[in-house]
Amino acid sequence: MKITSLKVPGCVVFLALLGVCEVYAQSAGRNVVIETNRKELDTILLRKPIPPGEDTSLRQAKLQQINDDFKALQTLNNKVMNAITGQGEVDYKSIGGWIGEIKNKATRLKSNLVLPKASKDERDLKEPELELKDQLLALDKVVESFVQNPIFQNTNVVEVGSATKASNDLARIIEGSGKLKKAITQLAK
């Protein structure tokens, strides 16, 4: 068998080598891209980063928990509002349970989300003593303010002012729901 030499122009060899290098670089760079995307997602979701060595299932579980708590906060708030604005007798026991769950979800969101520390001045504003229904409506406004915050709507840009507002709202939800739970427990007896 005779081997013949094949004359290939230099530019073809260069392009072939460039293609091989590009494929190699893409596969080697894929891990870098995946890691960069993971860090970006952590930033976008404003959550405490999990070290990269930890199991991805833990990361996914944490993200799922944040998503579930965020939705549950809204759902529970809607149940409370339907209960107090609807016709008929108010079931304080159910409302108390929902308010307790709102506090639990808000507390877990606070621990999972990376938000600036709530400003003491904003949290400690003393509101005049309101009737229970008015207090529940005030809590509704704070929950709505929290879930409609621009940091949850536009994840591409995180503004410090919006993040601080979200933190203050979350702190007010936790404080307010705790106080309301106590008041409603007294009425349910």
Structure confidence by residue, pLDDT tens digits, 151-175? 887 766 667 888 889 999 999 999 9
pLDDT one-digit tens code per residue, 12-60: 433 343 344 444 444 445 555 556 655 655 555 554 555 555 567 877 8
Interatomic CA distance for residues 137 and 100, integer angstroms: 16
Q: Which has the higher per-residue pLDDT, 117 or 59? A: 117
Tokens 């705790």 belong to 178
Whole-angstrom distance, CA of residue 136 vs CA of residue 77 = 9
| Of 151 and 141, more confident | 141
CA torsion, ordered 80, 86, 88, 94, to nearest 10 deg: -10
Residue 15: per-residue pLDDT: 36
Average the pLDDT over each of 75-89, 92-106, 123-137, 155-169 and give the range with the smallest value: 123-137
Q: Pick from 180, 185, 183: which is nearest to 103 by CA?
A: 180
Cα→Cα distances 74→23, 105, 115, 158, 165, Å: 47, 10, 19, 22, 18
Residue 27: how many other CB atoms lie within 10 Å: 9
Distances in whole angstroms, Cα of residue 126 to Cα of each of 13, 122, 186: 77, 10, 22
Q: What is the mean pLDDT of the chain?
A: 75
pLDDT at 124: 45
